[in-house]
């Protein structure tokens, strides 16, 4: 039986070109396509795509590490990555990690084993050393601020953004400011925590641990936040909420509990998701779909390391 090399020889093209035709890859001239098709027909060649990929050392698969599938933040990033992958005829291998380090290690191992061409890590829990170790094995793209490291990334400066939001609340007269965060252990969360501490210190504001609400991921977590705030003898006057979904939950529960917004409690969301627009929530716009698209482009482009900072705009509405 003819193999891919025979086809290439017969068609007068390279093995890579044959592989591209078999994968419906763009950028193959009509002439070459036709020649490959004729050769395939003559040989009655039945391609085994895995063997083809093996022979050219390319899988047209890009790995994507996300902690959760069921979260609008990662859903929007994934939407951007997936739409861009569609355009380039790549497929995505999804690693949902639930923030287990072992799962991140598995994704890196697949990159090392060349089962994927590149790996996009949307959020991680592993130490930097582990990423660093695998950088020599393949292309890794990060969605975090790694300036100074030799790795591609599309990122937001969370320290700067958090400081911008805190300054806005402070300028509106707030002194008792708290925040809600997805998880305290992530790289982005650590930047935010640092920004918060520096801000409190700069303006000589008291640090109150009870004003920091952890594990705020979904709309229903807003209810828990409001219940806790209600119990406080000296509650915060403003909350920076790192998810519009959670902010929407807080706003809804405040209405039920007769807490007036922004008079008694000011709320600032994050992302500018549709729910923020609909409920008139003041928020910081993060173009997640665009960020996802850029992450994918960085994963497949031949260029060197690139780092792209995404700037965040403050959208003034009714909740601050």
Nearer to a copy of itself by Cβ, of 68 and 134: the residue is 68
Residue 79 beta carbon to a copy of itself: minimum distance, rounded to whole angstroms: 4
Q: How far is the CB of 169 from a copy of itself (least distance, A)?
A: 25
Judged by CB, which is closer to a copy of itself: 78, or 284? 78
- The least CB distance from residue 199 to a copy of itself, in Å, is 31
Distance (Å, whole) CA 288 – CA 198: 27
Return the structure tokens found at 53: 């990929």
Nearer to a copy of itself, 42 or 94 (CB): 94
Q: Which residues pair with 284 in a beta bridge?
A: 270, 314
Cβ at position 207, least distance to a copy of itself in Å: 31
Residue 53 or 174: the one with the smaller Cβ distance to a copy of itself is: 53
Least Cβ distance, residue 186 to a copy of itself (angstroms): 19
Nearer to a copy of itself, 75 or 135 (CB): 75
CB of 58 to a copy of itself, least distance (A): 10
Q: Which is nearer to a copy of itself, 43 or 56 (CB)?
A: 56
Three-state secondary structure of the chain: CCCHHHHHHHHCCCHHHHHHHHCCCCCCCHHHHHHHHHHHHHHCCCCCHHHHHHHHCCCCEEEEEECCCCCHHHHHHHHHHHHHHHHCCCEEEEEECCCCHHHHHHHHHHHHCCCCCEEEECCCCCCHHHHHHHCCCCEEEECCCCCCCCCEEEECCHHHHHHHHHHHHHHCCCCCEEEECCCCCCHHHHHHHHHHHHHHHHCCCCCCHHHEECCCCCCCHHHHHHHHHHHCCCCCCEEEECCHHHHHHHHHHHHHCCCCCCCCCEEEEEECCHHHHHCCCCEEECCHHHHHHHHHHHHHCCCCCCEEECCCEEECCCCC
Residues that bind a copy of itself (CB under 8 A): 24, 47-51, 53-54, 59, 61, 64, 68-72, 75-76, 78-79, 82-83, 85-86, 91-96, 98, 103, 106, 110, 113-115, 218-220, 222-223, 249, 252-253, 274-275, 277-279, 289
Taking the complex as a whole, how short is the minimal distance between the CB of residue 163 and a copy of itself, in angstroms?
Answer: 29
* Of residues 68 and 170, the one with the C-beta less far from a copy of itself: 68
Q: How far is the CB of 127 from a copy of itself (least distance, A)?
A: 21
| Radius of gyration, CA atoms only, the chain | 24
Residue 212 phi/psi, 5-degree rounding, is -105, 120
Q: Closer to a copy of itself by CB, 103 or 317: give it.
A: 103
């Amino acid at each position: 039986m003819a193999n891919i090399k025979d086809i290439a020889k017969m068609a007068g093209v390279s093995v890579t070109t044959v592989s591209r035709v078999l994968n419906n890859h763009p950028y193959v001239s009509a002439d070459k396509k036709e020649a490959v098709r004729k050769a395939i027909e003559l040989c009655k060649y039945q391609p085994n795509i895995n063997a083809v990929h093996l022979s050219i050392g390319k899988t047209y698969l890009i790995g994507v590490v996300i902690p959760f599938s069921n979260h609008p933040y990662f859903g929007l990033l994934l939407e951007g990555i997936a739409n861009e992958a569609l355009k380039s005829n790549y497929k995505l291998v999804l690693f949902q990690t639930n923030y287990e380090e072992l799962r991140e290690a598995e994704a890196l191992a697949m990159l090392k084993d060349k089962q994927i061409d590149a790996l996009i890590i949307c959020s991680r829990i592993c130490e930097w050393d582990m990423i660093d170790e695998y950088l020599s094995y393949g292309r890794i793209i990060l969605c975090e601020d790694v300036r100074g490291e030799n790795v591609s990334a599309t990122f937001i400066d969370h320290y700067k953004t958090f400081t911008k939001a805190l300054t806005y609340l402070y300028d509106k007269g707030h002194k008792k400011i708290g925040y809600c965060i997805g998880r305290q252990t992530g790289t982005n969360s650590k930047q935010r925590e640092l920004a918060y501490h520096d801000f409190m210190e700069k303006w000589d504001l008291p640090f109150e641990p009870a004003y920091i609400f952890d594990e705020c991921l979904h709309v229903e977590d807003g209810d828990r936040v409001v219940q806790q705030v209600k119990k406080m003898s000296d509650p915060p006057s403003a909350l920076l909420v790192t998810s519009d979904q959670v902010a929407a939950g807080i706003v809804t529960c405040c209405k039920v509990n007769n807490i007036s917004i922004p008079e008694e409690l000011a709320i600032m969301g994050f992302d500018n998701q549709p729910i923020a627009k609909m409920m008139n929530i003041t928020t910081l716009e993060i173009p997640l779909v665009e960020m996802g698209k850029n992450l994918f482009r960085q994963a497949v482009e031949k260029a060197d390391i690139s780092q792209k900072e995404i700037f965040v705009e403050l959208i003034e509405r009714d909740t601050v």
